[in-house]
Amino acid sequence: MSSAAGAGRASGATGTGRSSGATGAGRAAGAERVSPGLAGVVAGRRVWLCDLDGTLVDSSPAHEAAFSQAIAELVPDRLPGFRYADHAGASTTAVAAGLTGDPDVAGRLARRKQRLYREYAESGLVRPFPGARGLLDRLAAAGRVAYLVTSGSRGSVERVLTACSLGDAFRGVLTADDVPVSKPDPRFYGLACRRWGVDPAEAVALEDSAHGVASAVGAGLATLHVHTAEPAPGAVAAGSLHDIVSLLGGG
């Protein structure tokens, strides 16, 4: 598929995805309600475990476009009932497996979707949310440690980090290729903590999806739910990334 076609699909998906540049900007302008408990969580945690898609980068339109194209090509009967928002936070492999009972077809579906998504990322269709770079820089300046804990595949994550100039911000990166489970399984964050020797009592997870929140909360992590007015069970509403930066003393 050409870059122009990819851009058209990604643009067309913006209105149906869970987030978009326009909606992200609207949320950042004050659409969320910030929990009064946010300051306490932000102040007391040395280690930050950050999700990527929908949290730090606006990738949902590109993900939805890539899934829709791959489904249309390989399992078109599943396309009418597909909503990316229902699967946000889960790995591509897990979503593909849930869409078809045939492991071979699921594997081809996942690979096709990943190829399409990487084309979008390399074309500049995945962008950081306002405040993402500022948040990561502020954490570093305050002597805090940031790790990336994402359900994306390593190949896709590396392309997005490069395209968004975020690759230097994390002490470590854990992707779906590194663990045998997917969010919302609590073992996803549990394995991340064990890999890096992180005490959950000293860490905070930054998430945007119900799947991600369930995984982090289940692993015993204080969890901030960003870009939402109604946090998922167990999480604290975090407002926008700019709100968190302000609480960290970043303006």
What's the domain range around 97? Answer: 60-122
Which structure tokens are listed for 154? Answer: 């390593």
- Report the distance separating Cα 211 and Cα 230, nearest Å: 14
Name the average pLDDT for the chain. Answer: 86
In a domain, 83, yes or no: yes
In a domain, 8, yes or no: no
Question: CATH number of the domain that 229 lies in?
Answer: 3.40.50.1000
User: Are residue 94 and residue 201 in the same domain, yes or no?
Assistant: no
In a domain, 110, yes or no: yes
Longest dimension (CA), the chain: 52
User: Are residue 100 and residue 37 in the same domain, yes or no?
Assistant: no
Which structure tokens are listed for 118? Answer: 């990487």
Q: How does residue 12 score in pLDDT terms, banded at 50, 70 and 90?
A: very low
Write out the H or E segment, with its range, that includes residue 141. helix 132-141
In the predicted structure, residue 146 carries a pLDDT above the cut 70: yes
Which structure tokens are listed for 198? Answer: 């992180």
pLDDT of residue 35: 58
Which structure tokens are listed for 190? Answer: 């549990």
**Per-residue model confidence as pLDDT tens digits over 78-114:** 999 999 888 887 889 999 999 998 999 999 999 999 9
Q: Which residue has the higher pLDDT, 33 or 82?
A: 82
In the predicted structure, residue 23 carries a pLDDT above the cut 50: no
User: Are residue 50 and residue 87 in the same domain, yes or no?
Assistant: no
- Report the distance separating Cα 92 and Cα 63, nearest Å: 9
pLDDT of residue 42: 82
User: Are residue 89 and residue 133 in the same domain, yes or no?
Assistant: no
Domain boundary among 122, 156, 172: 122
User: Are residue 106 and residue 200 in the same domain, yes or no?
Assistant: no
In this prediction, residues 2-29 reach a mean pLDDT of 37
User: Are residue 135 and residue 208 in the same domain, yes or no?
Assistant: yes
User: Are residue 111 and residue 232 in the same domain, yes or no?
Assistant: no
In the predicted structure, residue 14 carries a pLDDT above the cut 70: no
In the predicted structure, residue 62 carries a pLDDT above the cut 60: yes
pLDDT of residue 53: 95
**Per-residue model confidence as pLDDT tens digits over 209-239:** 999 999 999 999 999 999 998 999 999 999 8
- Report the distance separating Cα 233 and Cα 210, nearest Å: 8
The amino acid occupying position 249 is G
In a domain, 15, yes or no: no
Name the residue among 44, 52, 140, 48 with its Cα closest to residue 91: 52
Residues near 111 by beta carbon (within 8 Å), at least 6 away in sequence: none
User: Are residue 89 and residue 168 in the same domain, yes or no?
Assistant: no
User: Are residue 152 and residue 208 in the same domain, yes or no?
Assistant: yes
In a domain, 42, yes or no: yes
Q: Evaluate whether 10 touches 210 at the Cβ level (below 8 Å).
A: no
**Coil/strand/helix, residue 73:** helix
In this prediction, residues 50-56 reach a mean pLDDT of 97
In this prediction, residues 166-194 reach a mean pLDDT of 95
Write out the H or E segment, with its range, that includes residue 174. strand 172-174
